[in-house]
Structure 1
């Protein structure tokens, strides 16, 4: 850091585990999914509203609240464009936070690489994976297929073309995507996007809020050490450390709210849970795996270090 030092001390905890602060932040996500499910179960208006497995939401005509409709403005213009919002917030932080140094510094390049790997994982899961994305491949693997919308029992002969249909092409053809396990893409997107912003901005937040919590890393000799970013005295009141942080925090908060709405009104519990697991898998590879593998850390680095 431009105004800080890095101190390493012996530590026994595995570098692959999150710090106490990181664990508390990550626990927000399953807790939010649980809270949303409890609300949808215990609130009479939510519980009595007809739910459509095909639509993965409440029947629009009987939706218990505006947020329960897929076409609500926040779902259409924020969640469905969530990676765009994540990207804008990340770029603003990347350009404005002085902790990255000047110009195309090593820290800034590594942050871009971390973002790129997470983006690639988002693309593989939701957009394309050498053909259909992983969500659609999982749906087909678990027995799902594209059925005629008005006659669920009428199945066409299976063919190579049909096997590789995606949910998007199925719906555009006027049919319905039915019969398999559908990982919640909304849950996946909202978690991985907001967590990316959390991990990248946390060093800036801890610098001016005093929330430092040492991360563990494996050294080249196999020993485990604790890495702490210390603030120099002149930076204690440095308002510049806050630059670029408000927009990512705003996006994080709004993503949390939409995650709660998704948990309450869309998808089954299993679909939401697998969305969380797939998001956590990508986050672990980018933000925790390099801590225990020096070669990976040399490429991706660590936020704030």
Structure 2
């Protein structure tokens, strides 16, 4: 329990702060530029992360929204109930996960639509022989062909959006104060550490995508969509009365002290 407490305190000082929420978007853009520049210059040598079947990609990135959803669900529910003791307010805040699911679904469908709209089917990745009879990616792949279109990076989008959403929800720890000897305190610490672990993976794999995969324009577009989805929700819509709202923060609960920053 003491180790869990120390880990939560250290991570809280790094991630559950306003500086993290302000700095992470700029960090992601910087990683995108540096990683893409390294790729263009041929600097990064092949590594385990350059393999599409690496464990982090297969078991985490491919399921990024599922991991984010199922860890944020108890975290938002428990922390917001501790602060408000109001089931209606908790349900309102949990609706952010429904919004996030809608954002994930709409954006990924839009990316596939753009790739189909702009692409053509070729016999191989050399793009030498065009199969005009196959007009979409699904039919092209069924015929053993190679579809080439504007392939917006879904990884860049989703990892950006998930990392920013988690860090935004961690803001609640700035005002949450639970009894250190209680089981609830241990549950919140464990969920916070798990979410911090996820953020670390999302940022690492975002960098891996920038270094090893996709054209720069594909990654840039995906990242900008992720940033726009975060900004449109947490920096615009969630400030309005008719919205899921922001996590409880110092501005509305200034009398409470955080036990995670010590």
TM class by shorter chain equals 0.7 to 0.9
Identify the match of residue 231 of structure 2 among 284, 288, 302: 284
* 1:199 is aligned to 2:168: yes
SS of the counterpart of 2:146? Answer: strand
User: What pairs up with 1:106-185 in 2 under 5 angstroms?
Assistant: 106-126=88-108, 133-141=109-117, 143-149=118-124, 152-157=128-133, 162=135, 165=136, 167=137, 170-178=140-148, 180-185=149-154
Unpaired runs of 5+ residues, structure 2, are: 1-17, 250-262
* 1:301 is aligned to 2:248: no
User: What pairs up with 1:26-175 in 2 under 5 angstroms?
Assistant: 26-42=25-41, 44=43, 46=45, 64-97=46-79, 101=83, 105-126=87-108, 133-141=109-117, 143-149=118-124, 152-157=128-133, 162=135, 165=136, 167=137, 170-175=140-145
| Residues 1:95 and 1:23: Cα distance change in structure 2 (over 3 Å) | closer
User: Normalising by structure 2, what TM-score?
Assistant: 0.74
Query: How far apart, in 2, do the equivalents of 1:168 and 1:32 lie?
Result: 32
CA RMSD of aligned residues (A): 2.8
Q: What residue in structure 2 maps to residue 23 of structure 1?
A: 22
Unpaired runs of 5+ residues, structure 1, are: 1-18, 47-63, 127-132, 209-234
SS of the counterpart of 1:74? Answer: helix
1:248 is displaced (CA, Å) by: 1.0
* 1:268 is aligned to 2:238: no
Q: What residue in structure 2 maps to residue 221 of structure 1?
A: none
Is residue 238–residue 244 contact of structure 2 (8 Å, CA) maintained in 1? no
Which has the higher Rg, Structure 1 or Structure 2?
1
Is residue 77–residue 94 contact of structure 2 (8 Å, CA) maintained in 1? no
| Residues 1:83 and 1:171: Cα distance change in structure 2 (over 3 Å) | farther
Query: How far apart, in 2, do the equivalents of 1:195 and 1:169 lie?
Result: 36
Query: How far apart, in 2, do the equivalents of 1:101 and 1:281 lie?
Result: 29
Is residue 80–residue 247 contact of structure 2 (8 Å, CA) maintained in 1? no
1:259 is displaced (CA, Å) by: 0.7
| Count, aligned residues | 226
Is residue 118–residue 286 contact of structure 1 (8 Å, CA) maintained in 2? no
Is residue 157–residue 226 contact of structure 2 (8 Å, CA) maintained in 1? yes
SS of the counterpart of 1:146? Answer: strand
| Residues 1:177 and 1:154: Cα distance change in structure 2 (over 3 Å) | closer
User: Normalising by structure 1, what TM-score?
Assistant: 0.65
Query: How far apart, in 2, do the equivalents of 1:246 and 1:200 lie?
Result: 13
Query: How far apart, in 2, do the equivalents of 1:285 and 1:44 lie?
Result: 36
Q: Quick check: which one's strand share is greater?
A: 1
